[in-house]
Structures are given as structure tokens and as C-alpha cells.
Chains A and B, each alone.
Chain A
Amino acid sequence: MRPIRTALFLLMVALVAAIGALPAAAADRFITVASTTSTEQSGLFKYLLPIFERKTGIEVRVVAVGTGQAIKLAEKGDADVLFVHHKPSEEKFVAEGWSARRFPVMYNDFVVVGPAADPAKIKGLKDTAAAFKKIAEAKAPFASRADNSGTHLAEMEFWKAAGIDAKASSGQWYRETGSGMGPTLNTAAGMDAYALADRGTWLSFANRKSLEIVVEGDPKLFNQYGVMLVSKAKHPHVKDADGKAFVDWLVSPEGQQAIAGYKIGGQQLFFPNANQAGA
């Protein structure tokens, strides 16, 4: 009998230890924000959130995925706040009642990066659609996010403007990575491909190899971010008071100033524009 008892005893001890090891997550005051890889991987949140947390005592937990997936998370009720960058999708989110209102927060811009050898000869062009057309004509490798992220949706609009059906060449010169901005840049660096990137992620990206910016400054490369509090009417468990505090702070003069203060190598990454009409 003794070994059995010892085994049972050990099992009990293990069970108690296991339960004790489970962190008590419920006691903390926190909100969950569904956001994009660009805001996380550019380092903005790491800089911004501690400022907000110190002021309010509200912990902000960011789940950083593509804009498409972030919207899905919010619709399922798995986030209190949605902070993404694709205005048409955001307006649809509000129109469908998932949030009462969208607030513009800030913008940065997209850049087209490519190998220094520039096989498609697009360096210095100011018209992104024209550059995309030349990439397609040269059949130069292009790495696409292909993940329904804000950056991917913006890329699709440029292909449309260029009159190119890039997806038809998928697997040839058009490479769909189906992954985040960083992994896609890693892929582009590895195969000397062009790619569309948000400037924030590009600036903080460390594995550029021969990649450099080839097209920038086109007004169409503008990249607007918006924030929305998830509707309590749709999801009663949403922490709307603390979520609202975060949204309000982002668009307040203090939050806007904090966003403007984030720099890498002296370069500002995001430009606050909460008060700009139509943003």
C-alpha cells in the first residue's frame, strides 16, 4: 500500500503547486487593446504605455496582430479597445455598431523598400502606383504581407491603381509571405525583394541587409491610425470606463504630445493629428 499512498501524496502536492502557480490575473486593473504589429514592433507602445500607466494606474495589455485580425478580435469581444490603421475597415467597424465612434490619433507613412541594386529602376519615383507597375513589368521579386493587415490592404490599393493583378503572379515574382511586417522584411532582405512597409517598423528594423528606401513622399503613402472603444452594448464585459480613459488620453493634448515625443535616432516616427478634420 505504501508506494500507492506516496504516489497519491506526490500527485496531490503537484496539483496544489500547479494551482498555486497559476497567476491570479483577475485582481489587476487592466484593459486589453487589439492593435497592429507596426505600433508594437516600432517600439511606440513600449515608450507610450508606461506614461499612461503611471498617470492612471491602468495597465494596458496589447495584443499586436494585423489590422484584419485585430478587428476580428475586437468583434469577438476579446479586446476593450481597437487601435489600427485602415480607415475604410474602421468606418465599417463603427457602422456595424461594434463601436460608437472612431477617433483619428496619428499618422505616419508607408515607404517602398527594395534592394540597393534596384532591378526595376524605381528609385526616386514619387508615384507609388507607377513604381509598382515597373516592378511588375520587370518581374522583380516583391514580398507581400498577404495577411489582411492595414499595410497589406494599402498595398492592394496600389496594385489596383497600377492596373496590375499581382495575385495572378503569386509564387513567381509576387511572393505572399502571409506574415507580419517584420517577418516580411526578413523575407524581402533574404531574397532581395521589394516590399511595402510602414516607416515606423522600417526605422526600427535591424536586419536590412541590402534593403533601402526606394520610394517615399507620395501623398498616397499616407498612413492614418484610428482608435475605437468597443461597444458595451455588443459585449457587456467590455471595460468601458478604463478603455475610454485610454482613448481619451491618446487624443488629449498630453497623449498627442507623448506620441510626438517618440523618436528613433532623432527621427520622429508618428505624427499626432487627433484634431485634424477628416483624418
Chain B
Amino acid sequence: MAEIADAFAAALRLIVGLDAELAQIIGLSIRVSLTAVVLAAIVGLPAGAALAVFRFPGRRGVVVLLNALMGLPPVVVGLAVYLLLSRSGPIGFLGWLFTPAAMVVAQTILIAPLIAAVARQSMAELWAEYADELRSLGVGPARTIATLLWDGRFGLLTAILAGFGRASAEVGAVIMVGGNIAHVTRTMTTAIALETAKGELALALGLGIVLLAISIGVNAAAYLVGEATRASEASPA
């Protein structure tokens, strides 16, 4: 029990006395995960919408595969990306292994299926509503996708936040391809793994509380932005 109290004290000290090292770790975590979310959304959102709209042979198989990929173990993604980016691997010449770029690649692969699957779900509902109208207007496929994405943008926020949550919370992939190098590729989660390994359990849990606080902050901000936008659109000036 004492450890849990210590952890809250440690978390408070970490947040109040925000030292340069912790700030760097938090900054890197957010930068890597946000970059991965943006890249995964660029791929995942249109892919999800397309899956909701178009009928083609093997579509059901693709949907099942996509849903299964949501549960992809991070350590498997980490291993695959490691083998790709290793100097002995096919794209090792890039020199990305053990850099933040490698962590972005791993997280993007990890969350793109999640974003696509959640987007498909919410786009499918919207498509049921819009299908007749868009078809009767003779709208082309690219514009159909764009219209759906735009009109369903609030629903897509959930997909994006789910992606950000998974990216910022995982440790298995980033520790393998980033190497947990101090000041270079040490993120919140890999720092927690390291402090746990050192037996500094209170400090590790304290870092966990900081991570949770950041996650709550991001979600609250997204929620408020969503609310504000909806309100301003509902009452045009």
C-alpha cells in the first residue's frame, strides 16, 4: 500500500518539478504518437470509408482481417519492423533503426488497422443514411468518400483517439525498434519499463500516473473541441 501512496507522491513531484529529462521524454512520446496517428489516419480513414461504401469480391474477408489486425500484438509488429529496418534487412540503408522514425513506423502499422476498423463502422452507419441521395446525384467515388468523411468527422474523432491511445500506451514495439536509448528514443512507456526493471516501483507508477494524466488531457481537449465546433455549426452567426 505504501508503494501506491509513494507513487502518487512521485507523480506529483514529477509534474510539479517537471525536470528537463522528463519534459524531453513526454515531448518525444507525444511527438512520436501524434505523428503515427496522423500517418495512420491518412491511410486508415479513407480505407475504412471505402470498405463501408464499396462492394467488391473478398470484402468480407478484408473486414474480418481488419478486425483481427486491431488486436495485433505490439511485440510482433516490433519484431517485423526491426527485421525490416535492421542494417541486414531490406530497408536498413535508411539508418532508421533505434531512432524516433522507427518508432513512428511501428506505431503507424500498429494503429492504422484500428483506425480503419473503427472508421468503417461509423462510416457504414452514415452510408446507410446517405447512399440513395449520393447515388441519385451521381456523385463519383472519391467525392463520396470525402463527403462521408467530412460529414462523419465527429464519429471519426473516436477512431483517431482510440489510435492515439493505443500508440501512446504500447511498449513492446517501441522498445524493440527504438532501443530505449536515453535522450533519443526513451518514451513514457519505455521509461516505465526501465524504472520497473530497476525496482523503482513508485517512480515507475508515478510515471504511469503522468501518462494517464496526459491521456486524459488529450481526450478532454478533443472532446471540448468537438463540442465547440458542433455548437458553432448548430448556430450559424
Contact = CB atoms under 8 A, between A and B. Distances in A.
Contacts, number: 102
Interface in A177-235: 180-183, 185-186, 189, 204-208, 235
Interface in B129-186: 143, 146-147, 149-151, 153, 179-182, 184
B226 interface: no
Interface residues of B, number: 38
A31 to B, nearest CB: 11
Contact of A22 (B100, B149, B184): B100
B104 to A, nearest CB: 7
A180 to B, nearest CB: 5
From DSSP, what is the main secondary structure of chain A's interface residues? helix
Contacts of B38: 14-15, 17-18
A41 interface: yes
Contacts of B95: 25-26, 237
From DSSP, what is the main secondary structure of chain B's interface residues? helix
A139 interface: no
A207 B204 CA distance: 12
Nearest to B203: A206
A182 to B, nearest CB: 3
A4 B146 contact: yes
A63 B87 contact: no
Contact of A77 (B88, B153, B197): B88
Given A14-B38, A77-B86, A235-B87, A63 B198 contact: no
Of B86, B97, B179, the most chain A CB neighbours within 10 A belong to B179
A63 B199 contact: no
B201 interface: yes
Contacts of B126: none
Contacts of A78: 86-88, 97-98
A7 B150 CA distance: 7
Contacts of B42: 11, 14-15
B14 interface: no
B199 A62 contact: no
Interface in A18-41: 18, 21-23, 25-26, 32, 37, 40-41
19 contacts: A4-B143, A4-B146, A11-B42, A14-B41, A18-B39, A21-B35, A22-B104, A23-B101, A40-B194, A63-B98, A77-B92, A78-B87, A78-B97, A185-B199, A186-B196, A186-B197, A205-B199, A206-B198, A237-B95
